[in-house]
Amino acid sequence: MTTNKSYIAILFLLVFTGCSTTNNTDKIVTTGTGLKYSILKNGNGEIAKTGDEVAVYESMSLSGGKLIYSIAKPAPPIKFVIGKKQATEGVEQGVTGMEEGEIRKLIVPPSLSKRKDYPDYLSPDSTLIYEIELVEITKIINQ
């Protein structure tokens, strides 16, 4: 009987240890600026910082699900320098801290997606959903 209890205890431990995870791909993070993001796929490379040139594949949708655009392989990735205002504030904030190879879903409120001009299909009040894959980080020496 003691042997059976030992096996049950070990089995219980193995099952619940296997269920615990440090994987952060199911967590939604809300920043102080209102940006929300979740990690869809963990990366394993350099971490993007202000001043780095990043190359990303991205898709952008309206909060209702309508796809606005998508840049994906085999097309060349979009490149911009974090902190140089070459992308919207929400995208810059969402990419900062990503690792090469990481894929994030961003929920960008209107306050972080301001543009000089708005195309007909996009309202200044739109919440935008991005899926971004960080392909490459290039460290810029002379900023």
- Which residue segments constitute the domains of the chain, with CATH numbers given? 24-138 (3.10.50.40)
Mean pLDDT of the chain: 85
Give the model's pLDDT for residue 119.
Answer: 80
CA–CA dist 132, 135 (Å, integer) = 9
Give the model's pLDDT for residue 104.
Answer: 98
pTM for the full model? 0.79
Give the model's pLDDT for residue 87.
Answer: 95
Q: Convert 18-28 to b/e letters by CB count within 10 Å (16 or more is b).
A: eeeeeeeeeee
End-to-end CA distance of the chain: 71
127 neighbors 110 (Cβ within 8 angstroms): yes
Average pLDDT over residues 84-103: 97
